[in-house]
């Protein structure tokens, strides 16, 4: 995937397949849009603050292209990879992702990593509210109620390794749709192997909590906020935390959950 290292938006990423077959028309639309954005980037900043053309403009020599800082993981909530690919190549759906991983481990790179996919929706993590503008979205073929296949997780780990190295994404910034949209999203589902990812450096996890003692005055809600969750709806925030770290569907912290949150809070400080 060397192409993700080039900051040239006119270079198309590894889109679904070649420019033939059922995606010929949508691949053409992709190339057309990319060329339009590339043209915009190539424009020199010759207008002043009043919109008046200034022939004596001065361009800085110190800049680079914006890069992603988060990876957001999803399950597709559809019944097949083919169905998801169709959804992401249908204009009226208004949803997309950078990558789709099928049950057999096949990975479709549908959008250049430097471009903005429509995958996070209304969301928040820490102080970041426009998640789409700073993230890469990965959709994993799963209807939301089934386990993820070994082939999918193997491909996912390989992809995450490349993305982390290419963009310097912090370990704690590999998160789920459920984390950034409490109460609105629950993906990837409760069977997702978060610990396995964390063991490879993708996302934080907790250590053995057997001998953990939580201070009596510990503020669990503020701890959630420090970890990154939007606590405006506290019940939903605790629910998302439980789905990810406790891996149950309740919206109240158990004694085990309290210890886990305390440990994570100390890691995120």
Q: What are phi and psi of 193, to 5 degrees?
A: -85, 70
- C-alpha 155/C-alpha 146 separation (Å) is 18
Is 43 among the catalytic positions? no
Residues 6+ apart with CB under 8 A from 212: 259, 262, 263
Dmax of the chain from CA atoms?
69
- Structure tokens given for 110: 């549908």
- C-alpha 189/C-alpha 177 separation (Å) is 10
Q: Give CA 128 to chain center in angstroms.
A: 13
Q: Which of 43, 82, 139, 150 is catalytic?
A: 139
Q: At which residue do the structure tokens 């190339």 appear?
A: 31
Residues 6+ apart with CB under 8 A from 230: 124, 125, 180, 182, 237
- Structure tokens given for 229: 């969750």
Q: At which residue do the structure tokens 């002043």 appear?
A: 48
Q: What are phi and psi of 108, to 5 degrees?
A: -100, 120
| Residue 12: closest CA among 97, 110, 88 | 110
- Structure tokens given for 263: 């440990």
100 and 141 Cβ atoms separated by less than 8 Å = yes
213 and 258 Cβ atoms separated by less than 8 Å = no
What amino acid positions are annotated as catalytic residues?
Answer: 139
């Amino acid at each position: 995937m060397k192409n993700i290292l080039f900051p040239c938006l006119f270079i198309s990423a590894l889109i679904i397949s070649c420019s033939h077959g059922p995606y010929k028309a949508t691949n053409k639309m992709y190339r057309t849009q990319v060329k339009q954005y590339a043209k915009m980037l190539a424009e020199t900043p010759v207008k002043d603050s009043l919109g008046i053309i200034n022939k004596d403009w001065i361009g800085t020599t110190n800049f680079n292209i914006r890069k992603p800082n988060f990876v957001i993981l999803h399950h597709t909530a559809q019944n097949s990879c083919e169905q998801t690919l169709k959804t992401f190549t249908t204009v009226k759906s208004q949803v997309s992702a950078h990558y789709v991983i099928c049950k057999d481990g096949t990975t479709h790179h549908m959008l250049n990593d430097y471009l903005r996919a429509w995958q996070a929706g209304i969301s928040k993590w820490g102080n970041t509210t426009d998640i789409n503008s700073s993230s890469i979205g990965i959709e994993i073929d799963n209807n939301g109620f089934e386990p993820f296949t070994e082939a999918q997780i193997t491909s996912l780990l390989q992809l995450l390794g490349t993305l982390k190295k290419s963009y310097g994404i912090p370990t704690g910034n590999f998160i789920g749709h459920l984390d950034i949209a409490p109460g609105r999203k629950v993906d990837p589902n409760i069977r997702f192997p978060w610990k396995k990812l964390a063991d490879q450096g993708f996302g934080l996890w907790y250590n053995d909590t057997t001998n953990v003692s939580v201070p009596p005055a510990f503020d669990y809600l503020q701890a959630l906020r420090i970890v990154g969750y939007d606590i405006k709806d506290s019940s939903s925030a605790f629910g998302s935390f439980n789905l990810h770290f406790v891996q149950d569907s309740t919206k109240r912290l158990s004694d085990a959950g309290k210890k886990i949150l305390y440990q994570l809070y100390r890691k995120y400080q």
